[in-house]
Amino acid sequence: MKRLVGGNSEIAVKLTPSAAADGISIRSDIQKIEADGSLGELLRSGSLGTTVKEKIASVIESSLRKGLDLKSALPPAVVAAATLRSAQFGSGAEGRLWISVDGEAHISAAQFRSLNLKR
């Protein structure tokens, strides 16, 4: 078997979250590519770099969407009335990455009473 591509690489990607009508979206921007050999050439000039960037954003966005699924996080009476306004990354303890999401829900007094909140 013949090896077509070889080399080592490190890719710095800036991820920017945003709130949208359908949930959280992620924009990814490659900040720096340090790579050697034929792999470096492919990452810098070919479609492989674009594919890597898109895959990174897709995987993280998918994970965020699962964690921020309004249908599973909110009572049914509130889901349709909820709107996400903003999202941003922050750093947490022990080097963990956090995402802060801001939103609102406008519900009627009757909908609020139907939530059956525990006191």
pLDDT per position as a tens digit, 2-52: 556 667 788 787 888 888 766 777 777 778 878 887 777 777 776 777 787
pLDDT of residue 81: 85
Query: How is the chain split into domains, by residue range?
Result: 9-114
pLDDT per position as a tens digit, 52-78: 778 877 887 787 777 777 777 788 778
What's the 3-state SS for the chain? CCCCCCCCEEEEEEEEEEEECCEEEEEEEEEEEEECHHHHHHHHHCHHHHHHHHHHHHHHHHHHHHHCCHHHHCCHHHHCCEEEEEEEEEECHHHCEEEEEEEEECCCHHHHHHCCCCC
pTM of the prediction?
0.57
pLDDT of residue 5: 64
pLDDT of residue 4: 60
